Each structure stands twice: as structure tokens, then as C-alpha cells.
Amino acid sequence: MRGLGGLWADLSDLVLPADCAGCRERRPGLRHGVCPECVSTLGALRPRSVRPSPAPAGLPPCFALGPYAGPLREALLAYKEHGRHGLARPLGALLAEVVAVAVGPVRPVTLVPVPDTAAAARARYGDHLDRLARHCADRLRRAGWPVRVLRPLRALPRPDSVTLDSAGRAAAAEAAFRFRPGGRGGGGRADATVVVLDDIVTTGATLAAVSRTLTAIGPSPAVAAVLAATEKRQRR
């Protein structure tokens, strides 16, 4: 699926700042958002199937580009938390590769990004998953995929997931999503494969909650596609 690629071309379109989004090192004369070494590391990642353990009820098969570590983690943090919005294009292109592997042969696809809460969208100057979904869809379309992005859900205020354990994440996610006015009408192709998009999967609670909500009005999501998957640390 590197035919979707051109990762270096995407990253080379980015201008200052001169510190690399992947390793945070400042290098003289650096004119790209990500340094060549980090581009190489990101380009070597291959989407694979991941599954939290235990997996919450309703979680569809999930695919991730790589673990939430190294340049991928730093690039996501730079994009989400530090205003590096120019990274949406290359990260969206990488997400398109995950979708392509998750779905298989080219076919109609409906992408449903997990929505930000209103507070998160304000803090980030826009819904970060919405931006990624648009670039993901653009890359897939250029590769010949019939794609539509739908946003039938809105996210209700909820606690920061960083402060929650697995049970807390599941409880918060369960009541976190509602249909937008008119969102129950669907709008995607009846024969399209529904793919839920997120940036990171940890316990799977959010993806499962979104999938259960969507199932209540139409076809169940076939797969979930994310950029990174957290890995449990072994207790010593």
C-alpha cells in the first residue's frame, strides 16, 4: 500500500518550526516538519491487527500503524497538543494506509471519525480527528477508493481519559456519544464498508462505544483504524 505514499513529499511540504516533530531535535537548516531519520522510521511501519485485552463488548476488529512510541507518539503529540496542524496531511496519509490494510481490496468505504468534545476542539483549534479523516479520505480517493466521511455523532463532556483506569474509561465512554440532529439519517452508501477512525487505541472503550452507537441506526462498523496502539507495561 505504499502506492498511497509519498510520505516524504507530504512531510517536505511542511515549513518551520525547525525542531523535528518526531524526535524533537533542532537541527541546523532543517526545513521539514520531520527529520529524515524519523521519516524513515515512520515509513518502515506496517499496519497490523491489534486487540486490547480484555476487549470491550462491541469493539470491531482494529488495525494500527504501530505502537504508541518513538517518532509516531511524538508526531501525534505535536499535532494534537502543540498546534502542529501541518502534520494532519502526512498523518492522514498514514491513516489511509491503515484503512487500506484493514478493509482489503478496493471498495466503497464510509469513514466515521471519533468526534472531539467541544472543549477539546476549542483547545486544539478544531476537531483533530476531523482533519485527519479529511486527509485520509483524500489520499484514498487518489488511490481509486470511493470514500465518504460521515460525522453522525457528537461527543458529550467527559473526564480526561488520562486520569482514568480501564473501568473508568469504559464507564465514561458508555455515555459519551449522541447522534447529531439529523444524524440518524445515515447518508453513506448502503454497500460501503464502515470504518471508525481514531488516533490512538488504549482499552478500546471509545471505539467500542462509538461502534455500538452507530450499530443502533444502521450497518455495524466493520473495522476500526488508528494510528497508534498503546502497549501494556508488565508489572515487576
> Tens place of pLDDT for every residue, the chain, 236 residues?
555 556 655 555 454 446 888 898 876 544 457 888 888 899 999 999 999 999 999 999 999 999 999 999 999 999 998 888 889 999 999 999 999 999 999 999 999 999 988 787 787 777 899 999 999 999 999 999 999 999 999 888 765 655 556 666 666 666 678 887 765 555 567 789 999 999 999 999 999 999 999 998 878 899 999 999 998 654 43
Give the pLDDT of residue 176. Answer: 77
Q: How far apart are CA 214 and CA 211, in angstroms?
A: 5
Looking at residue 155, its pLDDT comes to: 85
pLDDT for the residue 158:
64
Residue 112 and residue 12: Cα distance in Å, rounded? 28
Give the residue among 22, 24, 19 at the shortest CA–CA distance from 70.
22
Confidence at residue 99, expressed as pLDDT on a 0 to 100 scale: 98
* Residue 164 confidence (pLDDT): 59
DSSP 7: H
Amino acid at site 152: P
- So what's the pLDDT on residue 208? 94
Distance CA 114, CA 195 (A): 10
pLDDT of residue 79: 92
CB 34 within 8 A of CB 20: yes
Residue-level pLDDT at 137: 98
Q: Look at residues 236, 201, 200 and name the one whose alpha carbon lies nearest to residue 56.
A: 201
**First-last CA distance in the chain:** 39
